[in-house]
Chain A
Amino acid sequence: MTDYRKLWSDLGMDLEKHDRLTSALPLIYEEVYLQQPDRPQAMEYFDLVVAEIHSLRIAELVEHRRRGGKVCGAFCVFVPVEIIRAAGAVAVGLCGGSQFWVPDGERVLPRNLCPLIKASVGARLSGTCPYFQSCDLLIGETTCDGKKKAWEVLGEYAPVYVMDLPQMKRPRDLAAWRGEIELFLARIEELTGCRVTPERLAEEIRLQNRLRQALERLYHTRKADPVPISGKDALLVTQVSFYDDPRRFIDKTEALAAEAEARIASGQGVFPSGAPRILVTGTPMAIPNWKLHHIIETAGAAVVCEETCTGTRFFEHQVDETGRTLEEQLQALAERYLKINCSCFTPNPGRLEDIFRLVEAYQVDGVIYYNLQFCHGYAVEYYAVEKALKARGIPVIKVETDYSEEDTGQLRTRVEAFLEMLR
């Protein structure tokens, strides 16, 4: 039995504060997750991952570092994890989904900033996130102005490397992004002291493609009516994909997808057939941000798809596996990652096409546009999304919120009234 308290204190964590954080999670998890009826058996693994979110995986990271390995933390779906892993390092997603960290973030950041950024920086400053504490390098990116400037602040507390993501998708932008990926490769090689060979990179490209395909297979089962898995559970699986060991994650997700497929074959669902089907689109939801899904699903509707960074944006499109040289592989990586339709791009018609395609494929009755407060890119893009959806007669509402619970009553009213409209 590992002594996690020692392990945490060796990571330089604030144990007393961390106790307060970890004492709240099981209660929330019980209410939000464990009380759902008819959950697939294979969700047990993901329950375990969350129950042990600051222990089992952290012990693996500590062990990896003890053997001289490096750990890189990333905040965004644009960071090509294939390169990190091909250089022998471990890639993990970083914390940022709880109100718990916001006050610490506000010590150094303005209050009028998105809660994801405030919580991420706060998690590092408060010393209560063992993932942050385990990182040898944090990888930022320029997907929004808030993050871009926050890296400068975070850089005072931990080593940060920033990738410059272009904001248009012209050929010259693809070339620039490919150049960024080359620089990134050099920086990671410098960190680990290992050269990335085409063989190792090919292996990681295949592995990450398999991981994305596993998520795609799971999401595909949500097209069925009745839906075999709740939106909350599917969201959790995607959230865990950022933290977990990729091989183990692929196995467990494929097992879950297989169980969901068997449920479809036997007509078993977690919501009655004909329950309203909701597509959530907008800003990412980091663990333990389950607020909106919980409100929607306790009101009797099923979330059947997420067009978010903790949803389809993370796993759609594969990297071309035919590249034999680093040159070809880096080009393939650049092309795949630049296909992501983040609102930081201008113009961004691809996101509208994605939403229409998903509305069709998942037989969606209504779209809920989720916006973390002060996320200007997604907030402004609502204008185009709303106009386009309404023109096609697809009901949509925007819900803007942060991680606090004070507006839960109002959100519930909005979501329930929206569902009444659909019925």
Chain B
Amino acid sequence: MTVLGIDIGSRTIAIAILNDKGELLAGQVADSGPSPLERAREMAGNLSSFRRVVATGYGRHGARADFATDLITEIKAHALGASHLFPSCRTVLDIGGQDSKVIRLDEQGRVVDFIMNDRCAAGTGKFLEIMAQGLGLPLEEMVAAASASDGGVTLNSMCTVFAESEVVSLLAAGQPVGAVARAVLNSICDRAQNLLLRLGIEPPVVFTGGVAAIPGLPVYFARRMGLPDLLVPTRPQLVGALGAALYGIKVNKATG
């Protein structure tokens, strides 16, 4: 019997299906849309084919009330997922649609400490999306434009709404798009680094979540943070769902 892990985030839903041995049979990511629970059920398909359905992410309580058998927080899910992919992992940096977090693991991969951003969207995927709109660039091109620029521009606003006005003003004042894009990336990178420093960076660091999936961005971050060995999974958006599914397998083993 297979196990389904489902990560219902503010921006995307990810599912991971594992067999008893913990091998990934299927993984999928889609927009949450206006009714995330409905979308989640669609993505899951035939629920009775799974021995366990473990929900995580912002919508985990709704999913537990509706169709999931278990729930864990995204902190635990990312810890389990990251240390499964990279057993030596000691620190997880996860930047999602609405939250950014840093998780410290012990040698057995257990969570020993964690820290989350405060309530606002500063330093999250949502922040990047809105800045990309202001820049008139697709997210994918933002990193290329930023990398090609020499910089010279800084973004002062932490607040997403104010930062958007600042981006618009900088462009209106004649700053090149690449330089402003670089300022945006530096801003979110510095914020992530701040979280990392508050908890203490113990390498190796694994970078997960939707923001890590933007092409070129992890390399940009690694360079700016001076963390050359920043590890990035092939599909960073799947790590939470994978961790949830791994938890399901653990519970199965424990309950026989």
Contact = CB atoms under 8 A, between A and B. Distances in A.
B116 A414 contact: yes
Contact of A410 (B76, B110, B114, B116): B116
Interface stretch (A4-12, A350-358, A415-423): A415-423
A417 B75 contact: yes
Contacts of B76: 417, 420
Interface in A361-403: 400
A409 interface: yes
A413 B75 CA distance: 8
Interface residues of A, number: 12
Contacts of B110: 421
Contacts of A417: 73-76, 111, 114
Nearest to B57: A413
A421 B111 contact: yes
A31 interface: no
Nearest to B114: A417
Contacts of A413: 58, 73-75, 99, 116
A407 B119 contact: yes
A413 B61 CA distance: 10
A19 interface: no
B73 A410 contact: no
Given A400-B118, A410-B116, A410-B119, A420 B75 contact: yes
B72 interface: yes
A3 interface: no
* Majority DSSP secondary structure for residues of B touching A: mixed
Nearest to A402: B119
Contacts of A416: 73
Contacts of B61: 412
Contacts of A406: 119
B109 to A, nearest CB: 13
Interface string B32-71: 0000000000000000000000000010010000000000
Contact of B112 (A407, A409, A412, A421): A421
A412 B118 CA distance: 13
B72 to A, nearest CB: 7
Contacts of B73: 413, 416-417, 420
Nearest to A407: B119
A331 B73 CA distance: 53
Nearest to A411: B119
B57 to A, nearest CB: 9
Interface residues of B, number: 16
Contact of A420 (B58, B111, B113, B119): B111
Nearest to A404: B119
A421 B112 CA distance: 7
Contacts of A407: 119
B185 to A, nearest CB: 25
Nearest to B112: A421
Nearest to B116: A414
Contacts of A410: 99, 116, 119
Contacts of B118: 400
A143 B61 CA distance: 40
Contacts of B58: 409, 413
Interface in B2-44: none
A406 B74 CA distance: 19
A213 to B, nearest CB: 39
Contacts of B113: 421
A406 B113 CA distance: 24
Interface in B102-123: 110-114, 116, 118-119
B248 to A, nearest CB: 15
Nearest to B99: A410
A297 to B, nearest CB: 15
A407 B113 CA distance: 21
A340 B118 CA distance: 31
Nearest to B72: A420
Contacts of A420: 72-73, 75-76, 111
B54 to A, nearest CB: 13
A410 B61 CA distance: 12
B59 to A, nearest CB: 10
A103 to B, nearest CB: 18
B222 to A, nearest CB: 26
A407 B114 CA distance: 18
A75 to B, nearest CB: 27
Contacts of B119: 406-407, 410
Contacts of B74: 413, 417
B73 to A, nearest CB: 4
14 contacts: A400-B118, A407-B119, A410-B116, A410-B119, A412-B61, A413-B58, A414-B116, A416-B73, A417-B73, A417-B75, A417-B76, A420-B72, A420-B75, A421-B114
Given A410-B116, A420-B72, A421-B114, 19 more contacts: A400-B118, A407-B119, A409-B58, A412-B61, A413-B73, A413-B75, A413-B99, A413-B116, A414-B116, A416-B73, A417-B73, A417-B74, A417-B75, A417-B76, A417-B111, A420-B73, A420-B75, A420-B76, A420-B111
